[in-house]
């Protein structure tokens, strides 16, 4: 495998299913839609972070770490998954929650992911400046120094590891190989992949993995945090790092990095009518639950692509479900304030 040279622990339930979505395909009048169910990776409600953490924690184990440190937004899936992984493997963990999202109801700060972090009894630190990635990481590394002074061996999983190897992306290099096997088993030719693009690790890892395997299928990333110019630069820089790590330098060009900030709306974690309707449509037609921060934004982007005739009806499009289900409980307005047409979507 492409990632065999890297330390890894088993956390994710893999392979995850690759399933058709015939009802949603019919409702949208578009291509044949498939869904890669990475919401089914296990580890405290699953999600893409389980694959990523296998490599971070593998590296931590080789370095003799006895405590993990990481940071993320209040409803961070990564933070929840890191705590779950630490508990599973018997490692201590401290987390930092950032106040990135304003204007939310009280449930946003107490239900869903933050509730699960408290249930797993991880010490929580708070960082008030929500869009300051470098500052959030500095606070994390400062805490690591305090722990070192107390005789601990901390391992930091930073928010913006542009100066650190993006080990988590290796989880999606490996997932690309899994998808290749899925398609061979199903005798399925894929015309496009669609996913949410946030930190860039999932996007970069999958793109590098596919290109390293000689697969030229486009990967469309829908922005969930920053505009498409900034996101394209972020993803490309990360793909270059990942490609170098696995010995496939140059397998990705800037032209391969396809991002769109159309569904982003007013910003990270904020609802729009299109996002709201994407959640309702997918739940109504397939019984599949999406979250407002990541997966529903990428689904909203896919729905827009289909509406504008981006795909032929004969195409096969794979939507990568990256998890995030617990965050739904931080958005009670999803059922209190349904947009027009959401209760009985067509």
CA distance 177 to 88: 26
Sign of CA dihedral 38, 329, 269, 296: positive
Nearest CA to 286 out of 28, 22, 105 is that of 22
CA distance 211 to 206: 9
Backbone angles phi, psi at 18, to 5 degrees: -115, 110
Contact between 196 and 77 (Cβ < 8 Å): no
Contact between 319 and 302 (Cβ < 8 Å): yes
Length, in residues, of the chain: 346
Nearest CA to 120 out of 295, 328, 326, 331 is that of 326
- Assess whether 76 carries a catalytic annotation: yes
Tokens, residue 150? 């107390």
Q: Which residue out of 76, 81, 197, 201 is catalytically annotated?
A: 76
Active site residues: 76
């Amino acid at each position: 495998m492409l990632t065999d040279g890297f330390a890894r622990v088993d956390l994710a339930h893999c392979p995850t299913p690759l399933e058709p979505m015939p009802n949603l395909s019919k409702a949208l009048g578009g291509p044949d839609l498939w869904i890669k169910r990475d919401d089914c990776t296990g580890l405290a409600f699953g999600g893409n972070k389980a694959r990523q953490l296998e490599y971070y924690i593998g590296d931590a184990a080789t370095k003799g770490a006895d405590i993990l440190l990481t940071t993320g937004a209040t409803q961070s899936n990564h933070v929840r998954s890191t705590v779950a992984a630490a508990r599973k493997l018997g490692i201590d963990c401290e987390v930092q929650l950032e106040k990135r999202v304003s204007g939310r109801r009280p449930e946003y700060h107490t239900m869903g992911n933050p509730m699960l972090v408290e249930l797993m009894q991880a010490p929580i630190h708070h960082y008030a400046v929500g869009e300051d990635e470098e500052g959030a990481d500095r606070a994390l590394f400062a805490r690591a120094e305090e722990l070192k002074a107390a005789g601990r061996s901390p391992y930091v999983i930073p928010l913006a590891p542009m100066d650190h190897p993006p080990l988590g992306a290796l989880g999606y290099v490996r997932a690309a190989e899994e998808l290749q096997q899925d398609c061979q088993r199903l005798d399925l030719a894929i015309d496009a992949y669609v996913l949410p693009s946030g930190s860039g690790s999932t996007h970069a890892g999958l793109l590098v993995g596919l290109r390293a395997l000689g697969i030229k299928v486009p990967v469309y990333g829908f922005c969930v945090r920053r505009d498409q110019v900034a996101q394209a630069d972020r993803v490309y820089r990360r793909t270059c790092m990942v490609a170098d790590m696995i010995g496939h330098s140059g397998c990705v060009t800037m032209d391969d990095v396809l991002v769109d900030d159309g569904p982003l709306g007013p910003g990270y974690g904020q609802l729009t009518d299109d996002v709201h309707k994407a959640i309702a449509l997918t739940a109504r037609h397939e019984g599949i639950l999406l979250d407002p921060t990541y997966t529903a934004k990428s689904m909203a982007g896919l729905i827009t692509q289909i509406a504008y005739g981006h795909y032929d009806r004969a195409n096969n499009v794979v939507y990568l479900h990256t998890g995030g289900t617990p965050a739904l409980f931080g958005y009670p307005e999803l059922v209190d304030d349904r947009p027009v047409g959401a209760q009985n979507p067509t």
